[in-house]
Structure 1
Amino acid sequence: MQMKQKNLHQIVIVGGGAGGLELATKLGDSLGRKGKAEITLIDRTRTHVWKPLLHEIAAGSMNPDKHELEYLAQAHWHHFHFRLGNMDGIDRTKREVYIGANYDEDGAEVIPRRTFKYDTLVIAVGSTTNDFGIAGAREHSIALDTQDQAERFHRRLHNALVRAQTQAAPVQAGQLEVVIVGAGATGVELSAELHNTTRELAAYGLDKIDPDKDIKISLIEASDRVLPALPPKLSQAVDYELRKLRVHVYTGERVTEVTQKGVHTHSGRFIPSALVVWAAGIKAPNFLSELDGLETNRINQLVVRRTLQTTLDDDIFAFGDCAACPWPGHAETVPPRAQAAHQQASMLCKSLKRRVAGKPLLEYTYRDYGSLVNMGRYSTVGSLMGALSGSSMYIEGMFARLMYKSLYKMHQMTLHGFFEVFLQTIARLITRRSEAQVKLH
């Protein structure tokens, strides 16, 4: 890593999710490589995995070792610094970011508490699952906010199957039932992936388990339909596919309590389950509401202007799920979606180059290009927005699946370039033929 140069504009990006890492890579390749600014990316983990893939890691249809990216390597290749740590405060007067000490699994300090100076601070820490204070939700369910959580769920699922295979007694009610709370994109995609991978796992020598009888997947949604934020036609198509897969769909059911034995709803229904995934709603991390007086909303998002600058400090920007950005012509703010974070990262890259050069900033306008929902090998459906007319076109099948896969490829190409992604894709197509189609441990 290059030595620090004096008087360079210091851009600190906190959060190495899809948007933050794309922004650091683009700025590193431009301002960093040319010596016009020093770019520092801070994240609490050592590796990056694209968040929309977490449900596949949880289900076991994807091996994270083959898709995670090491921040230190990316920083070395693309002319920015990476620093491991968790931001826990800032001083806006001194323009300093505070990063808490880092500890290993034994509790020994690895990295002491540190302070970083900034001229421009960009906060892109994403979102976490919102349990709405439901009794037992935090203690007895697993969210899918991080790779660690996804891998933890997969281990528990695999252990449950192995336990059922080796026990003398028959499978008990709820023992191999997975309850997913929240029928948004994550909940829907996870339920379809689990239908496939649990059957794949059972086929690898777990002959005492009858997938159709013993393994059950339930999806609970408080709204009157699955995918309530998406067009009704899309919801209807997905609901039909889920029921074909024998997923138990409960709409209009509000969860009131989660226990070790299962889930209670407001109607008095009880669904027994040893594995509960909470995917109902999001909020920004709690510490943002105490960040040296910056304005936040009721779900802890930093309130920003269309320039993506925070309302009370022009030197601090925020984007992605952790930011509440105006959406002209709409009562609500820009929705917390991957396409919004990608668009904002692209605009911020241009804006921060202009800021370093002393030019006016750009303003962000959200463009909705539609929605795609992938149900594994069974189906992919979606709606594409017409760029000129504003109307939507319903798509499904192979074309929709290719469009869905292209979203991840676009993210990879932003980070690595076309040629490297092309070679990686060919290599995975070749090696996949000699590998198990599901993670077996």
Structure 2
Amino acid sequence: MLEIKQLTAEAPDFWSQLESLLAWEGGANEAVEATVREILAAVRARGDAALVEYSNRFDRLQASAMAELEIPLARLQQALQRIPAEQREALEGAAARIRAYAERQKLESWSYTEPDGTLLGQQVTPLDRVGLYVPGGKAAYPSSVLMNAVPAKVAGVGELIMVVPTPDGELNELVLAAAAIAGVDRVFAIGGAQAVAALAYGTETVPAVDKIVGPGNIYVATAKGMVFGSVGIDMIAGPSEILVICDGDTDPDWIAMDLFSQAEHDEDAQAILVSPDEGFLERVAASIDRLLPTMERQGIIRTSLGGRGALIRVGDLEQAVEVANFIAPEHLELSVARPEALLPQIRHAGAIFMGRYTAEALGDYCAGPNHVLPTSRTARFSSPLGVYDFQKRTSLINCSPQGAAELGRTASVLARGEGLTAHARSAEYRIRKS
């Protein structure tokens, strides 16, 4: 029987217990940081030579030059033709839905003209070049390729560079096929901190990018944190999370499997169920015990649920929402009769899955909204990855002579109040000439 934490919101120390449950210390230790720092410096100093050296060492390759580590676009198309028709159709269908959703996110330039003729506005432009990190080996996720690459292409990014490690030289056909469907421009068989360094600083072969997106292990995450500033990054993601609010009327097997769907990611993943129905919590616990032995990744699920999972009893759905807003989960399922009634009260969540039939797994692959979401309570201030992450906004100001005079007087007063006389005189010159 799985020992999963059971909390009740009536307990006097409930909120402190919940805070302890949510705490996650996943930062890199000093050894990881030192290794990453060394790799970043080596790639920055020696370029391709360092990339080849690290790729041979860490991925057990035998490359002699970077030319051997670039995967031709023709190979991507070949993968698209090789995979089973069912997989190709699924990838293409998912990509189409992701693209349709992303098209609605696209920001457009705008401006307005004031009565005196002054124009103010905002110009929206795509990033020139973006780097996409895709995990390789056992952790091969074609869905991540689509979720990162399709919005970038919808935004109008000029060039999309994908890096993917190929341990022992093994290429994942689904990942390559997804890259072909998404329109990736160049692909390199490199990974780890060395790939992040190459994207951030550029080498003789790998062009430097403006932003790096995509998931990776602790070395990749640490490297992304260290190069931030030289380039933009999407986020430093923590373990996957799901919070399910259920009124007690959903099939308990469905809810148990929804919890499993995130717990199977890794041992640090967090799956929590909140319900006002104590009997339902017991039925879900029974479903967990019955279904767990049937799962291929039962060891990971068991560790995840036993270490960071919880079944939480609350007084009512209103209190369940209060708990949800405190947790600010990556994924929130509202498995209740009227999810739309709870929606206005939800302030913090990466993605909300409404109703009994909306499994979180649909969002991971093909519903349309992005599956790159804020974790570790960062949904309090962060948003899902989207087209807007691949666009820049530039302010536009075009003063008429009358506008320059009016604004110049205001600017002069404020600038002199701050002691910045050059600012003031710069504005004042336009007053005299207008």
TM over 0.5: no
TM norm structure 2: 0.29
From the CA coordinates, give the structure whose radius of gyration is larger.
Answer: 2
Bigger proportion of residues as helix: 2
TM norm structure 1: 0.29
